Amino acid sequence: MKKLEYDLVIIGGGPAGLAAALEAKRDGVSKILICERAPYLGGILNQCIHNGFGLQYFKEELTGPEYASRFIEELENSDIDVKLGTMVMEIMADKKVIAVNREDGMFQIDTKALILAMGCRERTRGAITIPGSRPAGIMTAGTAQSYVNLEGYLPGKEVVILGSGDIGLIMARRLTLEGVNVKGVIELMPYSTGLIRNKVQCLDDFGIPLLLSHSITEVHGNERLEGVTIAEVDKSFKPIEGTEHYVSCDTLLLSVGLIPENELSNNLGCEMDKVTRGPVVNEKRITNIPWVFACGNVLHVHDLVDNVTQEAEIAGKAAAAFINNKTNEEEKDVIITHDKNIGYVVPQHIDALNNQEQTIKFFLRVRNPDEDVRLIVKDNFNKTLLNLKKTIVEPGTMVTFNLPREFVTKDTSSIDISISKEQAQ
């Protein structure tokens, strides 16, 4: 078996892997390898031919392939190695990565550090156990996006979309533009789970109804899908009897959530966060394994690629510091806790003695939509470190904030983040 040696191996050549590699290179890592399973770099951005990417990071509006190409071009001018069509099969505890491709067969890479950037996959029909028959014509919105935007084929003529996730909303517009009748989007929750701008630009602008607090209770058809039964659901998401409604359609697209692809990380023994379904990391995006870093959708599902890029740069920088032995010798762990209005916070802990950056960037998601709330950050001495006003928070839009490093002292042992209704003055 062929053996290679690198300072840094990055698994995944999507937006996370690309930005992490470039940042590590800028910080002086000499031998970097990206392993990408597809025959091209850029990951899922290649099939995201709509615009809206890069508003934060580049301050301009790009399509997915354009956003990816900014990084791919920079990478082509660097000495970062890339292996395409390459699937990582196993990561071993002694810093060895086993991968396979057409040219090298099975091969081994010895590395000093590793960045996990494998992205995520879509939740399936099986995972949410929609009852009924099993005809053709049911697929995830991302699979449909791949057929339409990469292969040039349409999955159907009359489409119902289950779930108001961003890919579903984007596909509602995309298919409408292709002449498909998108009959409506069914959402279990009482609110849209995607970005507000996607609801406005992809549904409202095209007169596509969004049915909140509704679910699909049965799938009909033996060979090809013939229709679905939809029903309104109560507060505990149970279908309300008598509200059933048959909708004929030949296609059902699912946009019911994304799941980080952590099979490799799990097998390696990374500690996982039950909510994000990604590794538990500190602000440097180091997992519980000191030479393994994680960023992008494999860590937690982002709604904006701009955030993925920023997070990947943090991981790339931290991996470079680790490889170049520039990390602080001693660490002091500060645990991040949060109240029940918050679903999760990344990072899950921080190192109080790390003085690499001036600020620590936090990502969080709320459990329920709300308006005019205060995001309050306190330390273990109950001292308020931040008190920020947020006019609108909703689960579909990630909340980010920066905590100045100076607020974390060597005596800080925990930091609590809460979101609560603004007190009337």
Partner 1 sequence: MKTDVLIIGGGVIGASVAHQLARYNLDIILVEKASDVCMGTSKANSAMIHSGFNIDGGTLKGQLVLAANKVIKQLCQDLKVDLVKPLGSITVGFEETDLEKMKKTMENGIKNGIQGMKLLNQTELHEMEPHLNPDAKYGLFEPETGIINPFEYTVALAENAVINGAKVLLDTEVLDIIIENKTVTGVKTNKGDIAAKIIINAAGLYADKIAAMVEDIDFEIKPRKGQYFLYDKKWRDILTYTIYSALTKVSKGMIVVPTIDGNILAGSNAEAVEDKTDLRTTAQSLDQIYTSTISNLFPELPRMGDVITTFTGLRASSTNEDFIIESAKTVKGFINAAGIQSPGLTSAPAIAAMIEGLVRAENMDLDFSPKANYEKGRQAPVLLSDLSYEERTALIEENPDYGEIICRCESISKGEIMDAIHRPIPATNMDAIKRRVRAGMGRCQGGFCGPKVLGILSKELGISPLEVTQKGNASFVLTSKNKELSLEEGDRNYEKIRV
**Residues 202-221 close enough to bind partner 1 by CB under 8 A:** 207-209, 211, 214, 217-219
The verdict on 150 binding partner 1 (CB under 8 A) reads yes
Nearest approach in angstroms of CB 221 to partner 1 is 9
Q: Is 184 exposed, middle or buried (0-12, 13-18, 19+ CB in 10 A)?
A: buried
Nearest approach in angstroms of CB 377 to partner 1 is 31
Of residues 73 and 223, the one with the C-beta less far from partner 1:
223
The verdict on 154 binding partner 1 (CB under 8 A) reads yes
Q: Which segment (145-153, 309-317, 394-402, 403-411) binds partner 1 by CB under 8 A?
A: 145-153
Of residues 180 and 366, the one with the C-beta less far from partner 1:
180
Nearest approach in angstroms of CB 304 to partner 1 is 22
Q: Which segment (5-13, 138-146, 286-294, 387-395) binds partner 1 by CB under 8 A?
A: 138-146
The verdict on 242 binding partner 1 (CB under 8 A) reads no
**Residues 402/406/408/411 CA torsion (nearest 10 deg):** 180
Q: What SS3 class is residue 291? A: coil
Residue from 92, 127, 240, 392 touching partner 1 (CB under 8 A): that is 127
The verdict on 388 binding partner 1 (CB under 8 A) reads no
The verdict on 46 binding partner 1 (CB under 8 A) reads no
Question: Can you give the C-alpha Rg of the chain in angstroms?
Answer: 22
Binding mask 260-299 for partner 1 (x = CB under 8 A): -x-x--x---------------------------------
Of residues 229 and 356, the one with the C-beta less far from partner 1:
229
Q: Which segment (172-180, 284-292, 322-330, 408-416) binds partner 1 by CB under 8 A?
A: 172-180
Backbone φ, ψ for residue 178 (5° rounding): -90, 0
Nearest approach in angstroms of CB 147 to partner 1 is 6
The verdict on 181 binding partner 1 (CB under 8 A) reads yes
Buried b / exposed e over 16-52, threshold 16 CB at 10 Å, is: bbbbbbbbbbebebebbbbbbbbeebbbbbbbbbbeb
Of residues 52 and 156, the one with the C-beta less far from partner 1:
156
Tokens representing residue 20 in the block: 């992490």
The verdict on 125 binding partner 1 (CB under 8 A) reads yes
Whether 280 contacts 273, CB under 8 Å: yes
The verdict on 106 binding partner 1 (CB under 8 A) reads yes
HSE on the CB side for 357, CA within 13 Å? 16
Measure the CA–CA gap between 192 and 350, rounded to whole angstroms. 32
Nearest approach in angstroms of CB 228 to partner 1 is 10
Of residues 2 and 383, the one with the C-beta less far from partner 1:
2
Q: Is 85 exposed, middle or buried (0-12, 13-18, 19+ CB in 10 A)?
A: middle
Residue indicated by tokens 């010895």: 110
Number of residues that bind partner 1 (CB under 8 A): 76
With a CB cutoff of 8 Å and minimum separation 6, the contacts of 166 are 194, 195, 198, 255, 303, 396
With a CB cutoff of 8 Å and minimum separation 6, the contacts of 293 are 20, 113, 114, 115, 116, 281, 284, 285, 286, 287, 315, 318, 319, 322
Of residues 89 and 335, the one with the C-beta less far from partner 1:
89
